[in-house]
Amino acid sequence: MNIALFSDIHANLPALEAFFTDVEKRNPDSIYCLGDLVGYNIWPNEVVNEIRKRKIPTIAGNYDFGIGRMSNECGCAYKTESEKDNGNISISFTNSLMKDEERAYLRTLPAHIKVEFQLNEDKLNLLLVHGSPRKINEYLFEDREEKSMLRIMEQADADILCFGHTHKPYHRVLNSGIDGQNHFRHAINIGSVGKPKDSDVRGGYVMLTINENSSVLDKDSIKVEFIRFEYDIEKAAKAVEDSPLPNEYADNLRRGY
Amino acid sequence: MNILNDLYFSKEHTWVRIENNIGTIGITDFAQSELGEIVYADVPNVGYNFKQDEVFGSVEAIKTVSDLFMPLSGKVLETNKLLLKEPTLVNSEPFENGWMIKIEIENSQEIEKLLTAEQYAKITNT
């Protein structure tokens, strides 16, 4: 079973189109979207509609949650005053673009998707969230202390936890087994299709492979592939520059931060 | 910035309120405002002993995780159960219902090493 997971498109239609071209070639068994369809670029409605027309199961990101409710708060935890000012421009611009039907779609997106496999007379829980199981906008960076990461996964009963939100992909395997019995849990940040922040300007997503031998007992029995694809970055960056959005967002796309 | 005069402060942004030999400990208004929305407070179980300046737990915010440092040596007597359901009390009421642990103070002479409200305000430019 090959499962494609993507998120954090952020209204970048050229990146989303390139993603579909890439992923459809690979012919996965299923595709899930982990949210943040909108914000930071000019195509929020188009991105919603491309995902809707393919009937891809999708969860809400923090930006979708805010725009869905016509809020002026996206839960983005900006640090500096200039980040906050730019963020305010983006959220009010996105609110002004968003059409009623597309906004209603964002408003009704679920928070989590749980997929339970029953293989080898054991269960294997895959949990899809945007930020973390407990908060839509929590940032789970790669350097999160193991104890904290394990507590979050154990409380959510997640053997494989997939999330986005930070735009920085990684895969960590943690062992929460006791008394010498292994119980491997996988924390997978799937990166970002339309606004990568890991210095690689290409769009990114994950292909997760679960096979008949996949189990919490064998850490190599779950395969995680990070896929990167080229897209027309200039088109996306120019669209930002020709809009009321701050030009810094164009630079983010050109340089991957 | 809200700083109360009946408290002592550590340079590591914890406060302690002393009543008899019991110290109630939390993080300061400055600390919570720097951290942002608190998601979880990881505090020790009752009965554990910690030395002054030792890490006794951590606080998990939306974007970052920060260690918690003991303002005074002592044994943990109680943890704040309210925070399990409502961790944002640390943001909204850092000096009241957002407290984290109560300790039995081991050595009251250590209080001399702590800062007054005024001194703490100075080091945080608040």
Phi, psi dihedral angles at A253 (to 5 degrees): -70, -40
Q: Is residue A182's pLDDT more than 80?
A: yes
Closest by CA to B61, choosing from B42, B38, B84, B32, is B38
Mutate which of A76, A137, A138 to disrupt the B interface (most B C-beta within 10 Å)?
A138
Give the HSE-up count for residue B52: Cα atoms under 13 Å, Cβ half-sphere: 18
- If you average pLDDT over residues B94-105, what whole number do you get? 97
Closest by CA to B100, choosing from B35, B45, B21, B36, is B45
Mutate which of B35, B63, B65, B67 to disrupt the A interface (most A C-beta within 10 Å)?
B63
Confidence bin at B125 (pLDDT 50/70/90): confident
The tokens for A255 are: 């340089």
Q: Do A77 and B65 touch (CB under 8 A)?
A: no
Q: Which residue carries 């906008």 as its tokens?
A: A137
Mutate which of A62, A141, A148, A163 to disrupt the B interface (most B C-beta within 10 Å)?
A148
Q: Is residue B1's pLDDT more than 60?
A: no
- Please write the tens of the pLDDT for every residue from A62-114: 999 999 999 999 999 898 999 999 999 999 999 999 999 999 999 999 999 99
B39 chain-A contacts, CB cut-off 8 A: 132, 134-135, 138
Alpha-carbon radius of gyration of chain B = 13
**pLDDT in the model for residue B3:** 61
Mean pLDDT of chain A: 97
- If you average pLDDT over residues B37-50, what whole number do you get? 97
Q: What sign has the CA pseudo-torsion B79, B80, B84, B87? A: negative
A146 → chain B, closest CA residue: B65
Q: How far apart are CA A230 and CA A245, in angstroms?
A: 23
Confidence bin at B4 (pLDDT 50/70/90): confident
Q: Do B39 and A144 touch (CB under 8 A)?
A: no
> Lowest-pLDDT range, A16-25, A80-89, A151-160, B2-11?
B2-11
Q: Is residue A119's pLDDT more than 80?
A: yes
Q: How far apart are CA A70 and CA B38, in angstroms?
A: 25
- Please write the tens of the pLDDT for every residue from A24-72: 999 999 999 999 999 999 999 999 999 999 999 999 999 999 999 999 9
Confidence bin at B2 (pLDDT 50/70/90): low
Q: How far apart are CA A73 and CA B33, in angstroms?
A: 18
Q: How far apart are CA A185 and CA A182, in angstroms?
A: 10
Q: How far apart are CA A231 and CA A229, in angstroms?
A: 7
* CA-CA-CA-CA dihedral for A155, A157, A161, A165, to nearest 10: -40
Q: What is the ipTM score, two decimals? A: 0.87
Q: Is residue A241's pLDDT more than 90?
A: yes
- Please write the tens of the pLDDT for every residue from A192-224: 999 999 999 999 999 999 999 999 999 999 999
Residue among A138, A147, A148 minimizing CB distance to B62: A138
Instruction: Give the helix, strand, coil percentages of chain B, each rounded to 5.
Output: 20, 35, 40
